[in-house]
């Protein structure tokens, strides 16, 4: 896979560009350009007397290359190194596939076992192993926009989370990597959720973890997938006490409630029978592999994020 060169027709005219103009052209925030300048040296190179430095056409070509590589899953630090050292004539032919080879040793020979995962997951894993939260978030946001939340969660994020879990089991190392990745996932999902306009549901969906469960990432994936369907949510987060869930249901009057349990023993199905009865009734969904035992009458049990989304979408469209 190679990169297409941006239009450089203005190069010979000596036209330069402000930060705001470059940000609009590339579709990134001005703060991102300043970060790339500060961290990686990909900043404006032209200087006009009495004015701020401005971006030249060559600067713009490098930044276009940087953006496309990051969007394809190449970690920001690696993309910047490639774009920054390339000559202008080399930028159109930079090989992304070569840049995405991440299963070589990282940090003392450690690798993330990813099996047959795609290049997007591999790029995300490399960024996480480099503790590059900006690159992680940028890569996730791009796929949320282009492929949607369910694809991004299933085919990009989940393989990396599983691989990091396997790495920790075999080495007892990598908690810091999981923390950086988790925070990046939440940030990216929240941005995606916040971009939703004109929700179709008048009664929101409530999403909460079981009282002793800390695994809140599935809640954000579900909320982002519902946002793709223009369904609004309230995320209560990890370890939500039973009384707090009842209070939230009473105050919000949700169309449906999802309680997620990832770890066996972190939840008690019998307590779901004590949730308040409303008119119209809320659909109660017990999600995740941690639920064991008989579910109370009327409670729907699902094991996966995809199945939870399906049930919640159906409830919101009644």
The count of domains in the chain is 3
Residue 253 is assigned to a structural domain of this protein = yes
CATH code of residue 241? 3.40.50.280
Domain of residue 84, CATH code:
1.10.1660.10
Residue-level pLDDT at 56: 87
pTM over 0.95: no
Is residue 112 in a domain?
no
Q: What is the pLDDT of residue 50?
A: 56
Beta bridge partners of 103: none
Is pLDDT above 50 for 12? no
Shared domain for 302 and 250, answered yes or no, is yes
pLDDT of residue 46: 76
Burial profile 217-229: b = 16 or more Cβ within 10 angstroms, e = fewer:
bbbbbbbbbbbbb
CA angle 292, 293, 299 (to 5 degrees): 90
Give the number of other Cβ atoms within 10 Å of residue 273's Cβ. Answer: 12
Q: Is the pLDDT reported for residue 105 higher than 50? A: no
Per-residue pLDDT, 5 = 41
Looking at the fold, whether 34 and 67 belong to one and the same domain comes out as yes
In the predicted model, is pLDDT for residue 200 greater than 60? Answer: yes
pLDDT of res. 11: 47
The answer to whether 129 and 167 have CB atoms below 8 angstroms apart is: no
Write out pLDDT tens, residues 271-306. Answer: 888 888 877 888 999 999 998 888 999 899 999 999
Distance CA 61, CA 23 (A): 13
């Amino acid at each position: 896979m190679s990169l297409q060169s941006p239009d450089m027709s203005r190069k010979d005219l000596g036209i330069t560009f402000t930060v705001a103009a470059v940000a609009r052209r590339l579709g990134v925030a001005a703060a991102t350009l300043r970060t790339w300048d500060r961290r990686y040296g990909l900043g404006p190179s032209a200087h006009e007397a009495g004015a701020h430095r401005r971006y030249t056409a060559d600067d713009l070509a490098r930044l276009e290359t940087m953006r496309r590589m990051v969007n394809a899953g190449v970690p920001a630090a690696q993309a910047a190194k490639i774009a920054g050292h390339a000559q202008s004539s080399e930028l159109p032919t930079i090989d992304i596939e070569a840049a995405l080879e991440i299963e070589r040793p990282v940090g003392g020979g450690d690798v993330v076992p990813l099996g047959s995962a795609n290049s997007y997951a591999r790029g995300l894993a490399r960024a996480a192993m480099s503790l590059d939260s900006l690159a992680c978030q940028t890569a996730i946001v791009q796929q949320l926009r282009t492929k949607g939340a369910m694809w991004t969660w299933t085919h990009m994020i989940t393989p990396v989370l599983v691989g990091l879990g396997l790495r920790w089991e075999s080495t007892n190392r990598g908690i810091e990597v999981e923390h950086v990745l988790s925070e990046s996932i939440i940030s990216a999902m929240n941005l995606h959720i916040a971009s939703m306009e004109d929700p179709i549901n008048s009664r929101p969906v409530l999403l909460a973890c079981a009282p002793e469960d800390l695994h809140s990432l599935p809640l954000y994936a579900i909320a982002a997938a519902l946002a793709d369907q223009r369904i609004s949510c309230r995320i209560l987060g990890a370890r939500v006490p039973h009384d707090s869930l009842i209070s939230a249901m009473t105050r919000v009057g949700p169309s449906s409630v999802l309680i997620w349990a990832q770890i066996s023993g972190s939840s008690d199905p019998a307590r779901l029978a004590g949730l308040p009865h409303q008119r119209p009734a809320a659909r109660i969904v017990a999600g995740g592999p941690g639920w064991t035992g008989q579910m109370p009458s009327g409670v729907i049990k699902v094991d996966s994020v995809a199945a939870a989304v399906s049930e919640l979408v159906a409830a919101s469209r009644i």
